[in-house]
Amino acid sequence: MKKGGKLIVFSAPSGSGKTTIVRHLLKIEALNLEFSVSATSRAPRGEEAHGKDYYFLTLKDFKQKMKSEEFLEWEEVYRDNFYGTLYSEVERIWEMGKNVIFDIDVVGGLRIKKKYPERTLAVFIKPPSVEELKKRLKKRSTESDEKINMRIAKASVEMATAPQFDFIIENDHLEHALDEAEKLVSEHIAKPIFKDVTEEE
């Protein structure tokens, strides 16, 4: 993989507000960020567009790319339902002279950090409580109670990984969370890059 800019990872349980924070950061020109579009083996939903929301691949194509090691990270979220980050996507952004920002699950986020420890800032967005998370998910009114309960169960597992991240931001007050995220990203981008241990020559 070619040398390039920084990698900024935001991970959190569903409903923690990480997407709102990432969208806010993308609007700040001084940070020079570009969003990393994930690949998935699932079919598009609603208005989702290929190359904008996801790179939609067939299950066969996804597995072929896994075999040829084209993914920086990937995960089987549900049976035959894969998500991952293509190396080509990171290189596309680096070639634009930009830093890459990820809105990604905790497993993928930690894998990126492990591969590029020097380049990556890994931030965990923590909801004030599991009760508050449940309230936020119910407020969305987009999913059944069963699906919400599944997300809550998953959230408890994800919260346990928080200490493995570089920083934890508690999203109790959105304005504070946005300011904190902006400060962390700005400081990370300003730091010089030393060669990552896992980077190839």
pLDDT per residue as tens digits for the range 6-40: 999 999 988 888 999 999 999 999 999 999 999 99
Residue by residue, DSSP assigns the chain as ------EEEEE--TTSSHHHHHHHHHT-GGG-EEEPPPEESSPP-TT--BTTTBEE--HHHHHHHHHTT-EEEEEEEETTEEEEEEHHHHHHHHHTT-EEEEE--HHHHHHHHHHSTTTEEEEEEE-S-HHHHHHHHHHHT-S-HHHHHHHHHHHHHHHTTGGGSSEEEE-SSHHHHHHHHHHHHHHHHHSPPPPPTT---
Does the pLDDT of residue 198 top 60, yes or no?
Answer: no
pLDDT of residue 129: 80
Residue 47 has pLDDT above 50, yes or no: yes
Q: Cβ neighbours of residue 140 under 8 Å, at least 6 residues apart?
A: 15
Tell me if 199 is assigned to some domain: no
Mean pLDDT score of the chain: 90
Average pLDDT for 85-98: 96
Kindly state whether residue 77 falls inside one of the protein's structural domains.
yes
7-11 and 120-126 as β-strands: parallel, antiparallel, unpaired? parallel
Residue 116 confidence (pLDDT)? 94
The verdict on residue 186 lying in a domain is yes
- Does residue 143 fall inside a structural domain? yes
Rounded-to-integer distance, Cα 127 and Cα 133, Å: 6
Phi, psi of 8 (to 5 degrees): -125, 115
The answer to whether residue 200 is domain-embedded is no
Contacts of the segment 71-74: beta carbons below 8 A, 24+ positions apart: 71/39, 72/111, 72/112, 72/115, 73/107, 73/108, 73/111, 73/112, 73/115, 74/108
Residue 125 CB neighbour total at 10 angstroms: 26
Q: Do the domain assignments include residue 196?
A: no
Averaged pLDDT for residues 185-197:
81
59 domain residue, yes or no: yes
- pTM (two decimals): 0.88
Report yes or no on 2 lying in a domain. no
Q: Which domain holds residue 37?
A: 7-190
State the CATH number of the domain containing residue 13.
3.40.50.300
| Predicted local confidence at residue 155, as pLDDT | 86
Contact 134, 44 (CB under 8 A): no
The pLDDT value recorded for residue 195 is 62
Which pLDDT tens digit goes with each residue over 53-76?
999 999 999 999 999 999 999 999
Q: How many domains does the chain have?
A: 1
Q: What is the pLDDT of residue 13?
A: 87
Q: Is the pLDDT of residue 121 over 60?
A: yes
Task: Provide the pLDDT confidence category of residue 185 given band limits of 50, 70 and 90.
Answer: very high
* Confidence bin at 79 (pLDDT 50/70/90): confident
